Structure 1
Amino acid sequence: MLKIKKNIAISDSGFVFDPGTGDSYTLNPTGLEIIQLIKSGKSYEEILQEMSAKYEMDGESFERYFYDFTSMLKQMRLTENHGED
């Protein structure tokens, strides 16, 4: 399960700050929503259900977006892995 590191600060406006590196990022509203769902401990399936219902997006499109987004989070070292990805 993918988790956002505990020390990562995320504002309601989409500003993300990593105090470990001093790096900061800005998320679009959809990215912010997804990172908040990940941070709250929701599984991929729960996130898929919530986002596809809200945005009327098909599962295949969302899956591609989700994995691109989480790959970017991993590259920025904002995540920690526990068990499976």
Structure 2
Amino acid sequence: MVKIKKNIAISDSGFVFDPGSGDSYSLNPSGLEIVQLIKSGKDFKEILETVSEKYEVDSDSFERYFYDFVATLDQLHLTEPDGKD
């Protein structure tokens, strides 16, 4: 399961700040929603259900986009390493 680092600050407007690196990023509304779902402890299936109810997206397309997005979060060092809480 993907976990956002606990020290990452995320505003309601989609501004993301990493105090460890000093870097900041902006999320679009759907990216913000997905990050908030990840932070709340939802797994992929729960996120898929939530997003599918709100947006017209098929599960295969969403799965591809979701894991591409998560890979980007990993590259930016915004997620916890695997196996670490």
- On whether the aligned pair clears a TM of 0.5, the verdict is yes
Q: Give unpaired runs (5+ residues) of structure 2.
A: none
The farther-off stretch of 30-39 and 50-59 is 50-59
TM-score normalised by structure 2 residue count: 0.94
Partner of 1:52: 52
Tell me the matched-pair count: 83
Identity score, percent: 72
Tell me, yes or no, if structure 1 residue 2 matches structure 2 residue 2: yes
TM-score normalised by structure 1 residue count: 0.94
Q: Give unpaired runs (5+ residues) of structure 1.
A: none
Partner of 1:74: 74
The farther-off stretch of 49-58 and 16-25 is 49-58
How far is the alpha carbon of 1:82 from its aligned partner? 4.3
Separation of aligned partners in 2, 1:48 and 1:78: 21
Greater share of strand residues, 1 or 2? 1
How far is the alpha carbon of 1:45 from its aligned partner? 0.3
- Letter of the aligned partner of 1:10 in structure 2? I
Deviation track 1:13-37 (CA, whole Å, cap 9, x = no partner) reads: 0000000000000000000000000
- Letter of the aligned partner of 1:28 in structure 2? N
